[in-house]
A and B are shown apart, each in its own frame.
Chain A
Amino acid sequence: MSSAPDSSALEVDLWPKARFETDLVTPVSILRRQAALLGEKTQQLVTAYVASEALYNEMTHYFRLVVPALDNYKYELFRVTHKVDQLYPLTGHVQDKNPVKITDQSDLVGWLKEVLSAESTAKRIDSLMAQAKG
């Protein structure tokens, strides 16, 4: 025997009482911050931006250099990927090195510092700046 319809089910809030975390520092925001810093170090001759897209259940964030004076020439310096539904671990892909597993935020900051301060990165930016100056 079925029970009578009970409209009280429409009035309850089933979500947990705890607040959802909205102030997480995401990997992409850390990348964007570093991208934003490049222009002021190069007299805006070489800038950077981060492009993101979902591919095969993964988010991919590309860190790209841009040279406005060279018809907006772009060079992809590195990329990181993580599952769509979790921010860590990340996988860092830079040039021909083996992909690197990045477990948390401090790991990401350390890895980024290594990539951005690498001799090969400095040489590439120098070369692009020289070409931008004509």
Chain B
Amino acid sequence: MPRFLFWNLNNKPLPHLVKEIARGNNVDVLVLAECAIPVGVMLTTLNAETPDFQFAPGQCERIQVFTRFHSGFLAPVFESDRYSIRRLRLPLRDEVLIVMAHLPSKMHFTGESQRTECSLLARAVLEQEATVGHSRTIVLGDFNTDPYEHGFIATDGFHSVMSKTVARRKTRRVSGQDFDLFYNPMWSYFGDVGNRPGGTYYYEKAEHVNYFWHMFDQVLLRPSLLGGFSDDVRILTMAGSTALLDHNGRPDKENASDHLPIVFSLDF
């Protein structure tokens, strides 16, 4: 079953940690944001033992993609400086669209502007689904937006829901218009029950409303893919024997990244 990994590296030189995670989790499609590691260095590190990984180039400099599939199976079809939409065409499997994105930070964009960014990307996804003639679509990346914010909830955004049962309706009618749904499994990973991290990103500030943990790194699935999804999403806290959290249980910005990686499996 293909495995996918997304990690925002915060421009840190972490090729060995990436390798540990990619190898240790049998990752097939490795998607990196804020990756300042030269492609050659990443490839030689990933392939130090066996030459499995290929670089799958694209025009979106914010996203780097490496894969154990032939890179030609993961061709980009629609890109901008913020996202790369690719068709994953594997032999004997249905084609899927993979949308990989890194949307603007809350440091630079207001909530309204972030919502607009989500809407623009959601529209690009719809446009590409219409072009390829199917909606077997995976969206993953660092959206700098939480699952409960309008950009992820509203019909003109990703329109993603926390419930598979609701998502399986496929569309929802509002004001006479049907809107396609996404399932967002990341809702189920808020909070630290089970000794896991409370999210993928931690931010603390002395202000009255503070959530501390955020789920900026997310994966969304169209309902047509849910048959091959077995709730197998994990927020990783280890890269081999190296902890990705500091002694306070927060992402270790010094020795790793300020974001935690997410990995998931999907059969299609």
B-contacting residues of A (Cβ < 8 Å)?
53, 55-56, 60, 70-76, 79, 95-96, 124, 127-128
Contacts and interface: CB of A to CB of B under 8 A. Distances in A.
B156 interface: yes
A76 B76 contact: no
Interface in B112-143: 116, 119-120, 123-124, 131
Nearest to B128: A74
Contact of A55 (B59, B76, B81, B116): B116
B59 A128 contact: yes
Given A127-B59, A128-B59, A55 B120 contact: yes
Nearest to B62: A96
Contact of B79 (A55, A56, A72, A75): A75
Interface of B: 59, 75-81, 116, 119-120, 123-124, 131, 156
With most chain A CB atoms within 10 A of its CB, the pick from B81, B123, B131, B156 is B81
With most chain A CB atoms within 10 A of its CB, the pick from B77, B80, B131 is B80
Contacts, number: 38
27 contacts: A53-B123, A55-B116, A55-B123, A55-B156, A56-B116, A56-B156, A71-B75, A71-B77, A72-B77, A72-B131, A73-B76, A73-B77, A73-B78, A73-B79, A74-B77, A74-B78, A74-B79, A75-B79, A75-B80, A76-B80, A76-B81, A76-B124, A79-B120, A95-B81, A96-B81, A124-B59, A128-B59
A45 to B, nearest CB: 15
B120 A60 contact: yes
A75 B75 CA distance: 13
Contacts of B156: 55-56
A70 B79 CA distance: 13
A55 B119 contact: yes
Contacts of A96: 81
Contacts of A72: 77, 131
Nearest to B60: A75
A53 B127 CA distance: 12
Contacts of B81: 76, 95-96
A58 to B, nearest CB: 8
Contacts of B80: 75-76
A51 B234 CA distance: 38
A70 B75 CA distance: 9
A75 to B, nearest CB: 5
Nearest to B127: A51
A17 B265 CA distance: 68
Nearest to B132: A71
Given A56-B156, A76-B79, 12 more contacts: A55-B116, A55-B119, A55-B120, A55-B123, A71-B77, A73-B79, A74-B78, A75-B78, A75-B79, A75-B80, A76-B80, A76-B124
